[in-house]
Structure 1
Amino acid sequence: MPLETYRRLMDVNYFGVVNVLHAVVPAMKYALVGLGQTLAQELKPYGVGVTLCYPPDTDTAGFEEENRTKPEETRLICATAGLFSPDEVAAQLLRDMMRGNITSTVGSEGMLMTTVGLGMGPVSSAGQLAREVLLMPLFRLVVAFFHYSWDGIVRDCMNKRDESKKSE
């Protein structure tokens, strides 16, 4: 298809939704995930692999800049997963690419979130599939605990903001 057709489809199907949700959802990343998963399926017969990287917080100048405007609750939630060096993230990405993995992330929390969020994503190996099938019930419980904890962080930050507004 011509490139203009892709742009038109993105304007209607993707940006139409993004424009509506923009006020509610500050960042949407699924477009990249969906594109990566689609490419992985379409390019597989040609021997071309795709690895989607879900980097954790990485100690870079971009991360420092992001922290200047990051809401308090986001900073607190992200801090639970830790901060990783660019070398750690790059080394893991390279290992995952060489293994033909469809996803790459660093840290146990990143692996947990990536596994639970795969949904209809392609499978890189029998080992990946076995891990997902066997561990998904446990992982889902752990993620539910994370969400419960994160809800508390968000609630506490909201209460602090409300109290601050009342005192002004």
Structure 2
Amino acid sequence: MADAYFSLFTLIVLIPLALIAFVYFLVRPRPVKIPIKNRHVFITGGSSGIGLALAHHAAAQGARVSILARSRNKLEEARNAVRLATGIDVSVFAADVRDYDAVKRAVDEAGPIDVLLLNHGVFVALELEKQELSEVKFTLDVNLMGSFNLIKAALPAMRTRKDPQQPVSIALVSSQAGQVGIYGYAAYSASKFGLRGLAEALQQEVIADNIHVSLIFPPDTDTPGFAEENKRKPELTKIIASSSGAMKPEEVAQKTFDGIKSGSFIIPCNLEGIALSLATAGLSPQRSFLMATVEVLAAGILRIAGLCFQWTWYTSIEKWHNQRKAGSPQRS
């Protein structure tokens, strides 16, 4: 009987504790706290939507805020809105993220950056066969190359900052479409999946300089741009993506800064995002040994869940095409 109790104790207590201790030993980089107050937060795509919500949030936390976008008029409107809401004046810079020279001038004028928050992006949901290659290239140039341009411009001053003991952050706003490919998102998902490769490699390059990379995965977000995007969205895209609800920009901003301040590499924004992050953890860095343990334990279960989602999606695609061939109305 004693042997049975000991075996049960080992199974329930000792083995999980040993797993947690082992994961704790493995987890790299180590946890870090990144302050926002009195730091310089530079936000791209900061004139509307999520970017404007990020600017509001950073200003409310006592940061010195700079925002960059293409439209000078929208930038001025954003500056007035932040000033009215928080009493803080933000610096504005008009530049196209595809233009490295323009970006470099803006970054140099803004001064050394403590939190570089890359939120710019364009999105069109359309089947690849129907999409012009010029539009594909535009998506990749803005979403992916634009991020390279900003990081390349800001990194030297971040590395040579006055106080290297104070941790700084480079945060990239991806998308749940950067975790899983969806019908009609070929160009957009390619650009957002690319951000993950950039972020993973970059973290290894800058960790010695106490620079910490974060990757944010918001779902559909209720912005004016999202409303415009929905006008061109293919019917199958709507069917497959219908299970994911939309968040408010302010909610995404809150989740983003919570994650940045804790130095999290992967920052999900809702329960679905947490599940996706667990399912796609792969070889990404993980600072939290508790989350790393959950990733290990949940991997098999979430793979089954992922196969169930794929079954649902491909069943919807098959059904939709069969209805088209039969000439019947398209239904979900």
Spell out, residue by residue over 1:78-136, the C-alpha distance to the aligned partner (whole angstroms, 9 max, x if none). 22021111111111111111111111122222211122122121222212211100111
Letter paired with 1:116: A
Partner-residue secondary structure (3-state), 1:129: helix
| Correspondence for 2:305 | 142
Partner-residue secondary structure (3-state), 1:69: coil
Separation in structure 2 between the aligned mates of residue 128 and residue 46 of structure 1, nearest angstrom: 25
Query: Compared with structure 1, are the counterparts of its residues 163 and 77 closer, same or farther at alpha carbon in structure 2 (3 Å cutoff)?
Result: same
Conserved? CA contact 1:41–1:122, under 8 Å: no
Letter paired with 1:60: T
| Correspondence for 1:102 | 265
1:152 paired with 2:307, answer: no
Separation in structure 1 between the aligned mates of residue 306 and residue 268 of structure 2, nearest angstrom: 16
Residue 156 of structure 1 and its aligned partner are, at CA, apart by: 2.2
Letter paired with 1:35: L
My pick for the range that moved more, 82-91 or 120-129, is: 120-129
Separation in structure 1 between the aligned mates of residue 231 and residue 289 of structure 2, nearest angstrom: 42
Conserved? CA contact 1:54–1:110, under 8 Å: yes
The structure, 1 or 2, with the larger RCO (C-alpha pairs under 8 Å, 6+ apart) is: 1
| Correspondence for 1:56 | 219
Letter paired with 1:133: V
Partner-residue secondary structure (3-state), 1:50: strand
Separation in structure 1 between the aligned mates of residue 327 and residue 223 of structure 2, nearest angstrom: 32
Residue 160 of structure 1 and its aligned partner are, at CA, apart by: 2.9
Partner-residue secondary structure (3-state), 1:51: strand
Instruction: Name stretches of at least 5 consecutive residues in structure 1 with no aligned partner.
Output: 4-14, 19-23
Residue 25 of structure 1 and its aligned partner are, at CA, apart by: 7.3
Partner-residue secondary structure (3-state), 1:161: helix
Percent of aligned pairs with the same amino acid: 31
Separation in structure 2 between the aligned mates of residue 33 and residue 164 of structure 1, nearest angstrom: 41
TM-score, normalisation: structure 2: 0.41
| Correspondence for 2:290 | 127
Query: Compared with structure 1, are the counterparts of its residues 155 and 98 closer, same or farther at alpha carbon in structure 2 (3 Å cutoff)?
Result: same
Which structure: larger Rg? 2
Residue 31 of structure 1 and its aligned partner are, at CA, apart by: 1.5
After the TM superposition, list the runs of 4 or more consecutive aligned residues in structure 1 that deviate by more than 6 angstroms: none
Spell out, residue by residue over 1:127-156, the C-alpha distance to the aligned partner (whole angstroms, 9 max, x if none). 221110011111111111111111122222
* Number of matched pairs: 146
Partner-residue secondary structure (3-state), 1:121: coil
Q: Which has the higher strand share?
A: 2
2:250 to 77, 87, 96: 87
Separation in structure 1 between the aligned mates of residue 258 and residue 185 of structure 2, nearest angstrom: 33
Separation in structure 2 between the aligned mates of residue 105 and residue 160 of structure 1, nearest angstrom: 36
Letter paired with 1:26: A
TM-score, normalisation: structure 1: 0.77
Conserved? CA contact 2:222–2:248, under 8 Å: yes
Conserved? CA contact 1:81–1:110, under 8 Å: no
Letter paired with 1:161: R
Conserved? CA contact 1:59–1:86, under 8 Å: yes
1:38-53 → structure 2 map (5 Å cutoff): 38-53=201-216
Letter paired with 2:304: L
| Correspondence for 2:200 | 37
| Correspondence for 1:75 | 238
1:26 paired with 2:186, answer: yes
1:117 to 258, 276, 280: 280
